[in-house]
Chain A
Amino acid sequence: MTKSNRISIAIAALGGQGGGVLSGWVVDLAEANGYLAQYTAIAGVAQRTGATIYAIELFPEEQIKKHGSEPVLSLMPIAGDVDICLSSELIEAGRAVNRGIVTADKTTLIASDHRVYAIGEKEQMGDGRIDSDAVRDAIKKAAKKLILFNMDEMVLKSGSVISSVLFGALAGSGALPFSREKFEETIKKSGRAVNTNLAGFDLGYQNAKGSVSVSEAPCAQEFSSKSSPLLERIENMPDEARAIVTYGLHRLVDYQDADYAELYLSRLDDFKEQMLLSDVARHLALWMGFEDIIRVADLKTRVQRSEKIASEIRVSENQIWYGHDYFHPRYAEFTDTLPASLGRMMARSSIAKSIFSPFFSKGRIIRPKTIFGYLILRSVAGLRFMRKKSLRYHTENKRIISWLDLVKKYADDNPALALEIARCPRLIKGYGETHARGINRFSAIMAYVEKNGDAKGIAEKIAELRDAALLGEKGTEFNHILEKGMTDHAQQKGEFTWAGSS
């Protein structure tokens, strides 16, 4: 049998990314330049954000004339028979490789290096993102020729769509027997958003040709290397720990004041072993800088925040914009902010609760770019001066001290356990229910350690519990593992009784 002059192209994309437009361009381009083109796709629910694939086949008209009949073309990409695979996202390129439609003997793979996270990755309580490097390795191995760059960046840069960047990269790859001008003519003929599409095309073309250097984002550093009493105290720490502690100091001065940072350092004095020190330093800094409404109000009123929003949402120069911030302080946050004794009383008093809680039943929207909104938030932020007297501070402080005591207790005798305990505050995050859930599981683990600290394999058990705690909101897995050790504690609500509970 004679060798075929057919060109088979597959486009692996997400529904709604414009794979249809790209296919249309390829068809127009081929038809205008002496090729027969066939294209097909699976429309329907697959287009609702799911993974989808388009198949295109091109065949030289000249040969059709010579043979006297039409060729038989395929309606789907076939493993081992695809010349060019275009992919609008990294994982979709990986999926194409797994399907076998990218092969080392013939396929040019042109893919975007950016990620659109799948729901399975996004919904995890911790970090559920898959390892992109493994996918990169796999597609590098699979393709005959690989063009891989972040096309999403090019989309933002050119204000166009990913189809035009892919089309440009296809032109730049030289995988099709058509000149750059012919590609550009196709875009021009389509008559829609021609200029931006051409801009995207150009970036795609340049990148495929390898003539664009990737610029590393400059790393902004607010820190100085000059010495200070605080920094002098950590000079002898190992490098990794010192970096974390420096961040920690900075965070806590910013959060409260230098005295508070001093307290942080003195709490770290008890830990010498490098790995333990790093983990304690990291979690202690985060915990001591717990997010109360004072901190939130402070962050929301900073100059830097406006700048960050403006750049992230791509505000054009001099464009006016307003922010509407969603808050839902509850009665508990109110009593938490009060001086400890008053707060505790108010929290327990049902009369106070019935009087004040109606004020906290609804979510509120505050606009920090209006004078009134700014002043409200700023006055809350101003409560910083009385933070150390607040109920919340007392609660957290007690937990922190008890946690540190537990870590210290095992630091020498069972360093593996100490390390696992040190890592547990990772579970405490957020506000409202999220925070309550975190505290519940954290305290359950601490109570477990208090009870079973000397059991065999306890360190592994704690690590297992900590991972399980991040598996699901309902906590089925967590409770299952916990039950094995202490039946009386499973399914309990609120904070478990341990040294740190109030």
Chain B
Amino acid sequence: MAERSFKKEVEKLKLGAGEEFRGEGILAVTKGLLQAGVSYVGGYQGAPISHLMDVLSDAEDIMNELNIHFETSASEATAAAMLAASVNYPLRGAVTWKSTVGTNVASDALANAASGGVKGGALIIVGEDYGEGSSIMQERSHAFAMKSQIWLLDPRPNLTSIVDAVETGFELSEASNTPVMLELRIRACHVYGRFTAKDNKRPEFSIQDAMENPVRDTSRIVLPPASYLHEKEKLEKRWPAAVEFIKSRKLNEHMGAAEGDIGIIVQGGLYNSLNRAMELLDLSNDFGDATLPIYVMNVTYPIVDDEILDFMEGKKAVLLVEEGHPNYIEQQLNTILRQAGCDTVLNGKDMISDIGEYTCDVIKKGLNKFAKEHELLKSQKADAQSQTPVEIPARPVGFCTGCPERPMFTAIQLVEKDIGSFHISADIGCHLFSILPPFNIGNTTMGYGLGWAGASAFNKQAKQRTLSIMGDGGFWHNGLTSGVGNAVFNQTDNVLMIVDNNYSAATGGQDLMSSKAEHEKRSTQHDIATAVKGVGVTWVKEVRTYDLVQMHSILLEAMTTKVRGPKVIVAQGECQLNRQRRVKPIFNADVKAGKRMERDRFYVDSDTCTGDHSCIRMSGCPSLTLKDNPDPLKSDPVAYVDNSCVGCGHCGEVAHASVLCPSFSKVTLVYNENFWDRFKSGLRSSLIGMLQSAAEKKRLSRLKKAGLI
């Protein structure tokens, strides 16, 4: 079950024509798909489109009613290959993933689909994870569109425009036999807004029709001579068809003033930020009534030469607002201008920063410079005076309270203390937080599921083995073959630790093949260790991560054993974020119903805590924090467990394993105690109470005798 449930929200997908839809961007995209008569949908989760996958999952019943097939694909490559269904049949299909990383994985299938072309509309919805909050390398999906000739839509970030783009995207794809990519920036994916709905459409041509009446057209398959013909077809037929469609349907928009010798060209997705920047410079208002003419590129590839030249006509200068690097659009516009002999000045990255996200602040700064140069500013508004920044600590992401991955990294710390440091090849997933404080563990990461592949060069006999990390998500995505299979085949002597936490945790807790829970629509409970053994690893150990002693000794054994060959440790512990979401409501209901229940949480004795904070460096749990030292003689703050503790026990294990201090204790709280509890507790507290007060009396008399009380 995913981190966020959309069970309630998906009801909105049933809205009919004329009704107002209110909700999040990704929910609106789903509604757009249903309105467009989509036949199949697939994808792989990852911010910012994780929620899209969650919405689709929760909407499966609604989709089944419309005879739509939805699949949680094994990887982005799987999802992209799904588009093959649109090659021979008039089936509309949509796939989705996080970009550019997902597009990297998908590009083999994408290139094939783009080469042969499609008959039915093929839509690729990419969540562009760029700028603030991004977890990946900063690149552009634009390059993929260019290299494979896939059209790229970048609509204005309001729900009406986004939903329209979904529908026209299919039409554009069909009109030009080309897959279409719909690029949504992270904030647009999550924007809450409204649009007027249409009725959902059941696809006229069904998947069953295709399966029962197969069509074969070898000219659509990438193999010579067809592949040479594809290239010709792309340029001579599909491109002009697309341009014609874009022009006739006016997919790109003219906003702001109708006339003017200074203008702006902007990617659709940046329009709202541009308008706000203009408004703050008194060049526009709330409703986008700008004083300059603006050409909004809702289609950023292909660029429509005629439209550009029309816009440039009679203009002295135009500012291009294009986010990301390289500046593909700027380069292309310059070519268009040069070839047409047009002498309009094109400003772009020379005005606005050429690195990083185009936030409103960044655009405003560049626009200010452009406007000054062309004397557009009526009054010179002084920028709000900025204070000198106050010193504040960075707040990097980290493992959640009670996370089962934390003990793995504590164990690595302990083993490094035993045998010295070794090379660690990290992977993608929550476990990559290990590279941040307090663990500071991991040397490289080469991509999802590529943890072990990233260590494949280190396959020589040496005094120290290397350790690789891989999550269960990455394992099923490709790590089983690219990492484990590769290690078996090439006879590595290194060690892999697989994090088996029951979910694709970093992307929002989606289910996996190895999820422990039963799933009504998917087949789960496929064991990782069995799969690893199945491809030929003989040294396989399973261990519960919270058992730090075991974790430590097994890892130490793997790193030092005389046994040669690949070694795999499957470290198991349920993602605590998901676990709490699962068990908390049940626990509360049971307590309410009067059942006897126990709950554990941890506590640090501030009297014996010495304020060295080793425990924090070896655990890093958010619930393990600081408070002032209650001892007036000591100045360093003491460790303290706050109320968010979930009682996973790791801090106690750490205190045991590394002989930290006797300050940790686990407290078990009993709810709805029974007779036996009351009896035991009564007996104990009266007896211990007696002994305690005797001891206390002695202590007090000692103080009294000394005249101190």
**Which of A40, A105, A124, A253 meets B192, CB within 8 Å?**
A40
* Chain A residues near B280 (CB-CB < 8 A): 78, 80-81
Report if A320-B681 is in contact (Cβ < 8 Å); known contacts: A117-B626, A250-B708, A378-B695.
Answer: yes
Does B211 touch A at the CB level, under 8 Å? no
B272 A73 Cβ-Cβ under 8 A: yes
How many interface residues does chain B have, given as a range?
A: 35 or more
Does A267 sit within 8 A of B, measured CB to CB?
Answer: no
Q: How far is the CB of A124 from chain B (nearest CB, A)?
A: 7
Whether A117 contacts B625 by the Cβ 8 Å rule is yes
- CB of A168 within 8 Å of the partner chain: no
Chain A residues within 8 Å of B22, by CB: 31
The 0/1 profile, CB within 8 Å of B marked 1, for residues 246-278 of chain A is: 011111011001100100000000000000000
Over the window 118-160 of chain A, the binary record of Cβ atoms lying under 8 Å from chain B Cβ atoms (1 yes, 0 no) is 1111111111011100110110011000000000000010000
| CB of A97 within 8 Å of the partner chain | yes
Question: How far apart are the CA atoms of A473 and B439 in the complex, in Å?
Answer: 12
Task: Tell whether, in the assembled complex, residue B394 and residue A326 are in contact, meaning their CB atoms are under 8 Å apart.
Answer: no
Other-chain contact of B706, A16, A52, A131, A258 (Cβ < 8 Å): A258
Complex contact A119–B384 (CB within 8 A): no
Instruction: List residues of A (64-99) whose CB comes within 8 Å of B's CBs.
Output: 67, 69-76, 78-81, 91-92, 94-95, 97-98
In the complex, residue of chain B having the shortest beta-carbon distance to the beta carbon of A1: B285
Q: In the complex, are the beta carbons of A97 and B610 less than 8 A apart? A: no
In the bound complex, CA of A285 to CA of B608 (Å): 15
Binds B, one of A219-227, A335-343, A412-420, A483-491: A219-227
Report the Cα distance A303→B690, complex, angstroms: 10
Whether A251 touches B288, Cβ cut-off 8 Å, given contacts A81-B280, A118-B395, is no
A70 B190 Cβ-Cβ under 8 A:
no
Residues A4 and B390 in contact, CB atoms below 8 Å apart: no
Inside 8 A of B384's CB, which chain A residues have their CB? 79-80, 100, 103-105
- Inter-chain CA distance A29–B158, complex, in Å, is 21
Residue in contact with A253 in the complex, picked from B436, B622, B678, B703, CB distance below 8 Å: B703
Cβ contacts under 8 Å, B364 to chain A:
78
User: Would you call A59 an interface residue if the criterion is a C-beta within 8 Å of the partner chain's C-beta atoms?
Assistant: yes
Q: Which residues of A contact B11 (CB under 8 A)?
A: none
Q: What separation, in Å, do the CA atoms of A142 and B389 have in the docked complex?
A: 11
Contact B395 A51 (CB under 8 A): yes
In the assembled complex, A314 has its CB within 8 A of some CB on chain B: yes
Hey, which chain B residues are within 8 Å of A351, CB to CB?
none
Residue in B187, B397, B616 whose CB lies within 8 Å of A48: B397
**Which residues of chain A come closer than 8 Å to B603, judged between CB atoms?**
309, 312-313, 323
Give a binary string over A225-251; 1 marks a CB under 8 Å from any B CB, 0 the rest. Answer: 011111100000000000010011111
Which chain B residues numbered 591 to 645 have a C-beta less than 8 Å away from chain A? 601, 603, 605, 607-608, 610-614, 616-617, 620, 622, 624-626, 632-637, 643
CA distance A129 to B160 in the complex (A): 48
Say yes or no: A134-B391 contact (C-beta < 8 A), given A4-B285, A258-B706, A286-B633: yes
Whether a CB of chain A sits under 8 angstroms from the CB of B132 is: yes
A6→B361 contact, CB < 8 A: no
Return the chain A residue nearest B678 by Cβ.
A320
Cβ of B51 within 8 Å of any chain A Cβ, yes or no, is yes
If A70-B158, A80-B280, A323-B665 touch, whether A249 touches B135 (CB-CB below 8 Å) is no
Expressed in whole angstroms, the Cα–Cα distance for A365 and B549 within the complex equals 14
Tell me if B397 and A49 are in contact (CB < 8 A): yes
A45 interfacial contact with B, CB 8 Å: yes
> Is there a chain A Cβ closer than 8 Å to B260's Cβ?
no
Query: CA of A272 to CA of B288 in the docked complex: distance in angstroms?
Result: 77
Chain B residues lying within 8 Å of A36, measured Cβ to Cβ, are 194
- Contact between B360 and A2, CB atoms less than 8 A apart: no
A2 contacts B707, C-beta separation under 8 Å:
no
- When distances are taken between beta carbons in the complex, the residues of chain A under 8 Å from B673 are 319-320
Is B137 positioned at the interface, with any CB of A under 8 Å from its CB? no
Known: A72-B272, A322-B668, A432-B659. A125 touches B613 (CB 8 A): yes
Please state if A122 and B616 are interface contacts (CB–CB under 8 Å): yes
* B53 → chain A closest CB, angstroms: 13
B658 close to A432 (CB less than 8 A): yes
Contacts of B390 in A (CB 8 A): 94, 97-98, 134-135, 137-138
In the bound assembly, the distance between CA atoms of A418 and B141 in angstroms comes to 65
Contact call B706/A230, Cβ cutoff below 8 A: yes
Q: Would you call A494 an interface residue if the criterion is a C-beta within 8 Å of the partner chain's C-beta atoms?
A: no
B433 interface residue (CB < 8 Å to A): yes
Which of B31-39, B74-82, B558-566, B649-657 touches A? Answer: B649-657
User: Which residues of the other chain, B, contact A69 by a CB distance below 8 angstroms?
Assistant: 287
Bound together, the chains give a CA A63 to CA B157 distance in angstroms of 21
Contact of B392 among A98, A223, A302 (CB under 8 A): A98
Chain A, residues 186-221, CB within 8 Å of chain B (1/0): the string is 000000000000000000000000000000000000
Instruction: Return chain A residues, CB-CB under 8 Å to B288.
Output: 71-72
A127 partner residues in chain B, CB cutoff 8 A: 611, 635-637
A322 to chain B, nearest CB (A): 5
A33 to chain B, nearest CB (A): 15
**A230→B708 CA distance, assembly (Å):** 8
Q: State A423–B368 Cα separation when bound (angstroms).
A: 56
| Cα distance, A95 to B626, chains bound together (Å) | 21
- B272's partner among A43, A74, A438 (CB-CB below 8 A) is A74
CB distance from A159 to the nearest CB of B (A): 11
Indicate if the CB atoms of B703 and A250 lie closer than 8 Å: yes
> Is there a chain A Cβ closer than 8 Å to B458's Cβ?
no
Asked if A291 meets B693 with Cβ closer than 8 Å, knowing A118-B395, A141-B387, the reply is no
Q: Is B129 an interface residue (CB 8 A)?
A: yes
A135 vs B393: C-alpha distance when bound (angstroms): 11
For A5, the chain B residues whose CB sits under 8 A away are 286
CA distance A103 to B384 in the complex (A): 7
List A residues 1-55 near B (Cβ within 8 Å): 1-2, 4-6, 14-16, 27, 31, 36-46, 48-52, 55
Query: Is B607 in contact with A299, judged by CB distance below 8 angstroms?
Result: yes
**How close is A336's CB to chain B, nearest CB, in angstroms?**
14
A71 touches B286 (CB 8 A): yes
The complex places the Cα of A353 from the Cα of B16 at a distance, in Å, of 81
Q: Does B485 contact A (CB under 8 A)?
A: no
Q: Which of A59, A121, A251 has the most CB of B within 10 A?
A: A121
Question: Are the CB atoms of A228 and B285 closer together than 8 Å?
Answer: no
Contact between B282 and A1 (Cβ–Cβ < 8 Å)?
yes
A319 closest partner in B (C-beta): B669
Among A365-416, those with CB < 8 Å from B are: 365, 369-371, 374, 378, 381
CB of A354, distance to nearest CB on chain B (Å): 19
- Bound-state CA distance A286–B636 (Å) is 13
Chain A minimum-CB-distance residue to B436: A119
Asked if A431 CB lies within 8 Å of chain B CBs, one says yes
Query: Could you say which of A258, A328, A378, A429 contacts B705, with CB atoms under 8 Å apart?
Result: A258
> Roughly how many angstroms separate A371 CA and B689 CA in the complex, as a whole number?
10
Q: How far is the CB of B334 from chain A (nearest CB, A)?
A: 29
Question: In the assembled complex, which residues on chain A have CB atoms less than 8 Å from the CB atom of B194?
Answer: 36
Q: Which of A59, A126, A323 contacts B286 (CB 8 A)?
A: A59
B383 interfacial contact with A, CB 8 Å: yes
Asked if B157 and A75 make an inter-chain contact with CB atoms under 8 angstroms apart, the answer reads yes
CA–CA, A438 and B660, complex, Å: 13
Q: Which residue of B lies closest to A248 (CB)?
A: B633
Q: Are B360 and A67 in contact (CB under 8 A)?
A: no
In the complex, per-residue mask of B270-296: 1 if CB is within 8 Å of any chain A CB, else 0: 011101100110101111100000000
Provide 15 A-B residue pairs closer than 8 Å at the C-beta atoms, listed in order of the A residue.
A49-B400, A49-B622, A75-B187, A81-B276, A120-B437, A122-B616, A129-B637, A228-B707, A229-B707, A247-B633, A296-B662, A305-B605, A323-B668, A325-B664, A433-B658
Give residues in B with beta carbon < 8 Å to A: 22, 47-48, 50-51, 129, 132-133, 135, 157-158, 160, 186-188, 190-194, 271-273, 275-276, 279-280, 282, 284-288, 359-361, 364, 383-384, 386-387, 389-400, 430, 433, 436-438, 506, 508, 601, 603, 605, 607-608, 610-614, 616-617, 620, 622, 624-626, 632-637, 643, 652, 655-662, 664-671, 673, 677-678, 681, 684-685, 687-689, 691-693, 695-696, 699, 702-703, 705-709
A-B pairs, 8 with minimum CB distance: A228-B707, A44-B47, A363-B656, A432-B659, A42-B133, A138-B390, A429-B610, A50-B397
